[in-house]
Amino acid sequence: MNNNANNRDLELLRIVAIGSVDDGKSTLIGRLLHDTGLIYRDHLEALPKSDTSPEEVDLAFLTDGLMAEQEQGITIDVAYRYMAASKRRIIIADVPGHEQYTRNMVTGASTAHLALLLIDARKGLLEQSKRHLFISSLLGIPHILIAINKMDLVDYDEQVFQDICRDVIDFAKKLKIRDLQFIPVSALKGDMVVSRGDKLDWYTGRTILTYLETLEVTGDLNLIDFRLPIQLVLRPNQDYRGYAGTIEGGSVKVGEEVTILPSKETTRIKSISVGGEKRKYAFTPQSVVVTFDDEIDASRGEVIARTNNIPHTANVFEAFICWMDSVRLETKQTYILKHCYKSTRCTISTLEYKLNVNTLHRQKNTKTLKFNEIGRVQIETSSPIFFDSYEQNRNMGNFILVDEATNHTVAAGMILPKLHSKGSSLSQKPPQKGGVIWFTGLSGSGKTTIADRVFKELKKRNIPCERLDGDILRDSVTSHLGFSKKDRELNVNIAGFLAERLAAHGVIVLATFISPYRKDREQLKERIGNFTEIYVNAPLEVCRSRDVKGLYKQVQEGQITSFTGVDSPYEPPESPDLEIQTDQDSLDDSVSLFMEWFEKKNFSGN
């Protein structure tokens, strides 16, 4: 591993390290930094010796930076550490475990992909650990890794590890946790942190470092719901008007129809710039500048979205909030709500209940929230905001509340799916029947050409549809993947996830992927309700002769290896829903054959 500026283009993994007092978070992070060679020699020499192992330095001091933390041996503030692995950059937020620092944990965990929760093997699952699990679940952190630490103090006993795993799993059944994993470690001795050590032979899983380097987070992004809140309007001259901001969800391409909120004016994307370079498409979380085909007067705080998939517009909604101020919450008092780049006055009209984060009990008939308490509230804003629920899109579903008088940030909030009729507008139409049409076949068989023509035909009929193409996905979201069997399977899995999300919004998804393995396609069919498989069949020699992209020529010249159909297998469907033989049928005939099948199937549900 190395830590230099040349790694800025690598994928970023954000981690929040949490746990009870003295569970060893800071020591574990220090061990990661130490064993990967990311500590300067003079910094290492300045560290004090460990109380438990006088021959070793106290690695916890690498992250416990405040004098009060070092004196008390605990974490108080959120400490950030940066690492650069071979495949990704890593930011670790070491947050305090004490209940009185709940707001610090919420701050450190708000953008995390992974919660790394440490549990002391001697103590097991404590109330404080349960609180951290709940808050991680509430914040929608996609992955949770339980590091059962201090295994050296229980003689590396496998049964202790298994008992704690069982207790955590039983508690986690009450929560919404997508991915829960366990690793036994000794941060002090280094076992299963960077190297495996020789004391945990009974555990055959990954080390902490290997897990962090290989955890797949691309699929966690909301790549379906395009959202671009306008941060800045660029007007260098009378002939140019660009809209700058960070894409907070989904993707967009040149020529796509979009709607600007709140005006609901529609236009098409004329150009996209990323880092000063022109692009045909862009996706979350890129910062972009877009221009429109039409002259539209949009300003900071307004939102650009895909026309057939726009966010909710409302001035009354429900949310969970974490109160962060020493002055208690007062219902009916006016606060400033900041959401994306929009600010508006609001009041908390109702405090429905306060949540006991240790027991998960709801305390109703309460009138206020104190410092670090979490409650479910109803909020009314003076002007509508444009949002998704936090569960659907963390970026478009979070907000902060600011005290008008002191300008203090008093709360952080997460918008819930439930909306109220007063002042609300569910901007989306009732969803139509969506589905995934999966075109598979060799490179050059005609998948993309047919799907592009079908896409235009469906658009003429006003049928909501989207294109999902293998080349575009490889150039963007899965550009970090290679062409090994494992990477091909992962690429298809990510494509299937995106197609499934689009279909859930009532969209017909035309997906074109070689997807060489029969098992992968069958798994998609089992997972996605309305899934059909189209086999675009053309003999290898016909595909070679077409060679539109020049790939077969590169294979022949030895520039490309492991090419599907040549020196890597392609497993054709055994019973596809439709087979199109492009060596026998013209493009027009192929499209006509598909449309005839489409109408008989009544795929659109009309």
Contact 320, 414 (CB under 8 A): yes
∠ CA 204-205-211, nearest 5°, is 155
Antiparallel, parallel or unpaired: β 435-440 and 424-425? unpaired
Rounded distance between C-alpha atoms, residue 115 and residue 506, angstroms: 33
**φ, ψ of residue 533 in degrees (nearest 5):** -110, 120
User: What per-residue string of b and e applies to 1-30 under the rule 16 or more CB within 10 Å gives b?
Assistant: beeeeebeeebebbbbbbbbbbbbbbbbbb
Rounded distance between C-alpha atoms, residue 374 and residue 511, angstroms: 43
Contact 30, 62 (CB under 8 A): yes
Residue type for 2, please? N
Rounded distance between C-alpha atoms, residue 282 and residue 288, angstroms: 8
Contact 124, 95 (CB under 8 A): no
Rounded distance between C-alpha atoms, residue 135 and residue 18, angstroms: 11
Could you tell me which residues come within 8 angstroms of residue 228 by beta carbon, excluding any fewer than 6 positions away? 243, 245, 246, 247, 248, 252, 288, 290, 303, 304, 305
Rounded distance between C-alpha atoms, residue 518 and residue 571, angstroms: 6
545 is annotated as an active-site residue = no
Question: Residue 334: helix, strand or coil by DSSP?
Answer: strand
Active-site residue identified among 515, 575, 590, 592: 515
> Would you name the residues annotated as active-site residues?
515
